[in-house]
Structure 1
Amino acid sequence: MLVGGIVGWEEGRDDLFNPSSPRNRDDCLEPFRALKALAQQKNIQLHTLDVLQQQGIQPDFNLYLESLPVISIAGCKNYLIRFETELTVPINGDPDYLNQFNGIYTWDQELLSNHSQNGLAQQTKAIPKFAMRYPNVLPSGFQVNAIVNPGFANRQTLCVLIASNRHANVIDQRELYSERVKAIRWFERNAPKDFALYGNGWKVPQKRLGTLGKLQYRLEKIIPFITGSPVFKSYQGVAQTKFEIYAKSKFSICFENARDIPGYVTEKIFDCLFAGCVPIYWGEPAIENMVPKDCFIDFREFISDPDPYRALYSYISGMSEARFKQYQQAGHDFLISSQFAPFTSQAFAESILRPIEA
């Protein structure tokens, strides 16, 4: 029997596999329960590393879910599951760090390519790379045989944005954190009754990078503090569940944390599709090769306009219900097709265990 340890995600004590964990919002831990279940089928014992250490069991391999310092254990192989880009987690772009691992799981097409001229790919060429996708959890409210709230009925909000108030951790023109704020501000100024903002951290100004950014952030806090006025007037608080909010909304600003990074597709577009909400997407440069183009609105089609958000608003506010239903049907058809299979929790589990079994 092989024994594997899990390193990362804050809590130990096998909390990662606990469906009742307070961290299991929107059942986000389901992919790790699927991983553990599949491991058991393959006679692989899987626990968080602290549990193994308490039991005096030495792992044959460790899976790092976060880019944490590598723990050296004799005879133990270490693998990194590289979820985020180097824009959000800078060490994910550090070849000295990546070269410590026996293998790296990634969605990054540059790193996975044997012929890439990308600097990081070249500097980590000796380290085996294994393809994976971000796993996506089917919400309990999703129905295989029916679209959630078809048409405009029961969808009171024209457009919604669900995200946390964060910033990139390196200077890079590809980051989209600040673009989300541009979208929020446009709707607050021009269509406040047709927009709602949800997520963590929006009671304070836009989070910013660097010393000057932090100074600007502190200055921007002064007037709202003195006047008691909200920083973001569209802010509705933290979403109880994303599915609940999306099921009541027609459209969602659905931007990745960064754009133009091949392979970088997170849960954001799928969360919308599950609930019959039409995503307004920007991120992966070839997203239509993964998710059919008739499932979503590509924001890049509007960015050449002098006022892209006005052009977008004109499009979505003027859309007929019949056209909206076409988007919904295309999204639902995709989710119940084999095209969605690579993005499931089961596919994630299989992609992680396949190289370990070999």
Structure 2
Amino acid sequence: LVREPPFPKMQQHRITVYQQAQQYCGYVSGPDEFAPTPDYMPAIWYHNNSFRDLNEMGIPEKNRFCCWVTSGIARTQNHRQRLGFLQLLSESDLKFDLYGRDLPDWAGGYGAVGNKWNVMAPYYYNLAIENYAENEWYVSEKLWDALLAWCLPIYYGGPAADKLLPPGSFLRLPSRDEKGIAYLKEITANPDAWQEAKEAIAEARQIILHELNLLNWLSKFVEQAF
């Protein structure tokens, strides 16, 4: 089971890893067409809350508008494109709070976070910007973390999210440029879009917790295999 995005510069290495894994594993999957079995990744999130808490807790108090939890990692062109968008946002007058590790000095922000829930829960909106959006399989914790914190994700990524989650549970960022910034300003100016999406967010959370999580993913695999 491979979870990392299939960055172009890593494709040959990825193919080699798949070939090696097939010598020892009966089932090898990954979120790309190079995998012996292309498949969505199970939902793995980065909230430290217990499963019971995430499943049973209601909507937390929302009193802030928009946040982005990201990092300063710049190993690939994809990472650098994300940082380029961050720089555009930093130079705009969009009001958002930035969190994350190893961010460049020009970005500012509040630094690394421990439990993402504590950071994200007070916000209506969360920027969920994937490092990779070029195939139909890849979607990461960026989307799961936002929804589990009852945020409405403003998502930049591939079409996998549309196949896995109910309509209206997230918004699509149209582009990582001035057009995208204008869209963000319009949406995050008030909580109206979040209010309209509450029921869809609740439905998406149940899908993440009870259908897409790793244990359910493994259970379905065992049922199908045996």
Pairwise TM-score range, normalised by the shorter structure: 0.7 to 0.9
- Indicate if the aligned counterparts of 1:276 and 1:331 stay in contact, CA closer than 8 A: yes
- Indicate if the aligned counterparts of 1:282 and 1:299 stay in contact, CA closer than 8 A: yes
Of residues 306-315 and 282-291 in structure 1, the stretch that sits farther from structure 2 once superposed is 306-315
Amino acid at match of 1:328: K
Q: Which of 87, 94, 103 matches 1:185?
A: 87
- Residue aligning to 2:113: 239
Stretches of 4+ aligned residues off by more than 4 angstroms: 91-94, 351-355
Structure 1 counterpart SS, 2:128: strand
- Residue aligning to 1:323: 193
Structure 2 counterpart SS, 1:295: coil
- Indicate if the aligned counterparts of 2:99 and 2:110 stay in contact, CA closer than 8 A: yes
- Residue aligning to 2:125: 251
- Residue aligning to 1:84: 4
Structure 2 residue 20 is matched with structure 1 residue 100 = yes
TM-score (norm 2): 0.79
CA distance in 2 between partners of 1:92 and 1:340 (Å): 34
- Size of the aligned set, in residue pairs, is 219
Query: Once the 2 structures are TM-superposed, how far is the Cα of residue 92 of structure 1 from its aligned partner?
Result: 6.5
Query: Once the 2 structures are TM-superposed, how far is the Cα of residue 323 of structure 1 from its aligned partner?
Result: 3.3
Q: Which of 148, 153, 156 matches 1:274?
A: 148
Structure 2 residue 3 is matched with structure 1 residue 133 = no
Name which structure has the greater RCO, CA cutoff 8 Å, separation 6+: 2
After TM superposition, list the pairs within 5 Å mapping 1:94-173 onto structure 2: 94-102=14-22, 103=25, 104-108=27-31, 110-111=33-34, 128-129=36-37, 131=39, 133-137=41-45, 139-140=49-50, 141-144=53-56, 146-149=58-61, 154-156=62-64, 158-169=65-76
Query: Once the 2 structures are TM-superposed, how far is the Cα of residue 315 of structure 1 from its aligned partner?
Result: 1.8
After TM superposition, list the pairs within 5 Å mapping 1:261-300 onto structure 2: 261-300=135-174
After TM superposition, list the pairs within 5 Å mapping 1:316-355 onto structure 2: 316-319=187-190, 321-337=191-207, 341-350=210-219
- Indicate if the aligned counterparts of 1:133 and 1:342 stay in contact, CA closer than 8 A: no
Query: Once the 2 structures are TM-superposed, how far is the Cα of residue 145 of structure 1 from its aligned partner?
Result: 6.2
CA distance in 2 between partners of 1:318 and 1:293 (Å): 22
- Indicate if the aligned counterparts of 2:130 and 2:157 stay in contact, CA closer than 8 A: yes
CA distance in 1 between partners of 2:63 and 2:217 (Å): 32
CA distance in 2 between partners of 1:239 and 1:88 (Å): 30
Query: Once the 2 structures are TM-superposed, how far is the Cα of residue 231 of structure 1 from its aligned partner?
Result: 2.6
CA distance in 1 between partners of 2:88 and 2:38 (Å): 41
Flag the 1:97–1:309 CA change in 2: closer, same or farther, 3 A: closer
After TM superposition, list the pairs within 5 Å mapping 1:17-32 onto structure 2: none
Could you say which structure has the higher helix fraction? 2
Flag the 1:106–1:351 CA change in 2: closer, same or farther, 3 A: farther
Once the two structures are aligned, what percentage of the paired residues are identical?
17
Amino acid at match of 2:214: S
Q: Which of 175, 182, 197 matches 2:98?
A: 197
Amino acid at match of 1:199: G
Flag the 1:317–1:265 CA change in 2: closer, same or farther, 3 A: closer
Query: Once the 2 structures are TM-superposed, how far is the Cα of residue 91 of structure 1 from its aligned partner?
Result: 6.2
Amino acid at match of 2:82: R
- Indicate if the aligned counterparts of 2:40 and 2:160 stay in contact, CA closer than 8 A: no
Query: Once the 2 structures are TM-superposed, how far is the Cα of residue 95 of structure 1 from its aligned partner?
Result: 3.1
- Indicate if the aligned counterparts of 1:162 and 1:197 stay in contact, CA closer than 8 A: yes
Flag the 1:345–1:96 CA change in 2: closer, same or farther, 3 A: closer
Query: Once the 2 structures are TM-superposed, how far is the Cα of residue 281 of structure 1 from its aligned partner?
Result: 0.6
Structure 1 counterpart SS, 2:72: coil
CA distance in 1 between partners of 2:97 and 2:213 (Å): 29
After TM superposition, list the pairs within 5 Å mapping 1:3-82 onto structure 2: 81-82=1-2
Unaligned regions of 5+ residues in structure 1, if any? 1-80, 113-127, 206-229
- Indicate if the aligned counterparts of 1:246 and 1:272 stay in contact, CA closer than 8 A: yes
Unaligned regions of 5+ residues in structure 2, if any? none
RMSD of aligned C-alpha atoms? 3.1
* Bigger CA radius of gyration: 1
Flag the 1:263–1:132 CA change in 2: closer, same or farther, 3 A: closer
Flag the 1:198–1:88 CA change in 2: closer, same or farther, 3 A: farther
Flag the 1:328–1:239 CA change in 2: closer, same or farther, 3 A: farther
- Residue aligning to 1:227: none
